[in-house]
Structures are given as structure tokens and as C-alpha cells.
Amino acid sequence: MTSPHSPSGPVFSAPAKKQLGQHFLADRYYIDKIVMAVNPKDGDRLVEIGPGQGAITLPLLRVHPKMTVIEFDRDLIAPLTAAAEPLGELTIVNRDVLRVDFTELADGQPIRLVGNLPYNISSPILFHALEHAAVVSDMHFMLQKEVVDRMAAGPGSKVFGRLSVMLQAYCEVTSLFVVPPGAFRPPPKVDSAVVRLVPRDPASIDIKDHKRFAEVVKAAFGQRRKTLRNALNNVVSAEQFVAAGVRPDARAEQLDVAEFIALANAT
């Protein structure tokens, strides 16, 4: 009998490049879970970041035979093209994803981002994608579990922090499932997790000044053990705490996202 976790080797094999964060997914069970989480619908415009050897790309193409991928490693382009050819129409952009303008790529029609991200640059990729949130309908990313835990944490959690507030202010964040190191070749040192991010409608985000909001959140968590009165000493006045309805003797980790927004808007 086949185990639900039976390894599914890539259709072609190239040595992994550590400097490109290459950990190739090789477990059918988790690949299927990602495809089910993405659940592509007719007309969706899927864009995968870092297709590698096609572990997620090829199963996605089987259910949705047209997509775009962005891969930096030029050694992977020819074999990926050949593997995708019988399955559908794969457009490969051979570039550093951080240099790809998603707004230009979308060309007026929303895109859905997918990726088992290279962990060494996962935060820059995340923030790059968020800069283009207006053209991104959702994102399904595999990241280090520790990062996903921080992204999805709520007030009171030890890992609730700047990343949680900055992401949740702009996106709905759902941690979907954990993927163990053994699911990859070569295995990474840590657990991974898949997260779904759905950018909020800009009209529903009540932040008056985005730069100011980022500054207040940064300052509040910069000294997370201090009360907000002390951590935000030069940033928020006593009157502004009152106007925002936030207790100055609270700590940053006790505030929810709406309270951070109220605090920044009051300054």
C-alpha cells in the first residue's frame, strides 16, 4: 500500500544550489495539499515564484493548464520547459523575482501568487508582493514555520510582533498547515508552513498615514517589555493616547491591530 506521505521524486533532477535557497518539495501528500489550498478556478491567473524542478508547477498545470512562473536559476529553465510542455502553457520569466514588477505583469487583471519561497529572501519577496497588493488577489506561500507563526499571531502571543501587525493590517492571514523537513530534498533545518494571505480592500483599511503607522508599530515593539507610555515617549502624547482610546500602561503585545491603527491615526 502506498503511504500518504510517499516521496514523489521530481521529474528531473538537478543538484540543489544552497545560495538560491533550493529545497525541493518531494512529498506528494504536501504537494497535493498545496494544490488543494490554491484550488485554481477557470480564468485565474496563477504566478508561481521559484518553480524549481516543478514540484508544485506540474501538478498545478495538470488542473489549470496555463500559468506563469518566475525562476532565477537559468539551469532549471530548459528542463522545466520540457516537463511542462505536455501539460499546458507555461510562461517562464527567468529573472530575480525582486526585479519583477507584478503590476506590469498583471497588466490590469489580478494575479494569484504561489510559491515555496527561497527562505534566505522570503521577507523581501513578501514585502515586494505587498507593494503590489492592489493587483494580487491572494498568495499561498511556504515559509519557515517560525515566520508563519509570527505572521498569524494575535495579541497576547509571545510571537505577536511587528510582522504580525504590519501584515494583518493589510492582509487577512491564515496559517494553513505545517510541512516537516523530511518533505524536501535536501531537507531544511527547520519546519515549514504554508500561509494564505488575502490583501484587504484598500477602501476598508482605515490608516491615515501608512508611513506613520509603520513608525508607531516599529517604536512600540522596539521596546516590547516597556509600557507604551515609555516605548512611545517621543511618538505619542498623553492626549493622543486618550484620543485613540488606548491605555498608556499597556504593552505593545497586548494591543490589537485596530488599536495600533487608532494610535497612529491619533498622532
Stretch that binds ligand SAM, among 35-43, 52-60, 145-153, 236-244 (CB under 6 A): 52-60
- Residue 96 assigned ligand-binding role: yes
Residues between 4 and 33 with contacts to ligand SAM, criterion CB under 6 A: 20-25
Count the site residues for ligand SAM by CB under 6 A.
Answer: 22
Please tell me what DSSP assigns to residue 186: S
| Burial of residue 176, with CB atoms counted within 10 A of its CB: 0-12 exposed, 13-18 middle, 19 or more buried | middle
- Residue 121 CB, shortest distance to ligand SAM, in Å, is 6
- Residue 209 assigned ligand-binding role: no
- Residue 151 CB, shortest distance to ligand SAM, in Å, is 18
Residue 229, all three cell numbers:
507610555
- Residue 25 assigned ligand-binding role: yes
- Residue 23 assigned ligand-binding role: yes
- Residue 31 CB, shortest distance to ligand SAM, in Å, is 8
Residues between 84 and 123 with contacts to ligand SAM, criterion CB under 6 A: 96-98, 116, 118, 121
**By the criterion CB under 6 A, which residues form the site for ligand SAM?**
20-25, 50-53, 55-56, 70-73, 96-98, 116, 118, 121
